[in-house]
Amino acid sequence: METFRVDDMTCGHCAGAITQAVRAVDANARVDVNLAEHLVHVEAAQADAESLRDAITRAGYTPVPVQASAQGATPRPGGCCCGSGRASCAA
Ligand SMILES: [Cu+2]
């Protein structure tokens, strides 16, 4: 599973364009777009992360790979989701 943050993906059209770009390099990839958080999750069938990133870039967007450990906004036990070690980001 590869995750990219694509800040310039702003509407359903962008999401569709990115999905198509990914499918163009990996027809059997499972693409899951979270428009609200500008995240694209790709379960690739054959393409590697670099080709996926390339495909999204060529579609005109700016994908930033997201580390698996940084995914999700759920606070981890003993610290904040952002890894600062504080009890909460707002503290
Ligand atoms: Cu758009």
The 10 Å Cβ neighbour count of residue 22 is: 26
Tell me the CATH number for domain 2-70.
Answer: 3.30.70.100
DSSP state of 69: G
Whole-number Å distance, alpha carbon 63 to ligand 1 midpoint, is 14
Domain residue ranges in the chain: 2-70
In this predicted model, what pLDDT tens digit does every residue of 46-74 receive, in sequence order? Answer: 999 999 999 999 999 999 999 765 545 55
d(CA 10, ligand 1 centre) in Å: 5
The residues, ordered by sequence, that sit 6+ positions from 54 with a Cβ below 8 Å of its Cβ are 25
Each residue of 4-26: pLDDT tens digit?
999 999 999 999 999 999 999 99
Q: Global pTM?
A: 0.73
Find the 82 Cα to ligand 1 centroid distance in Å: 28
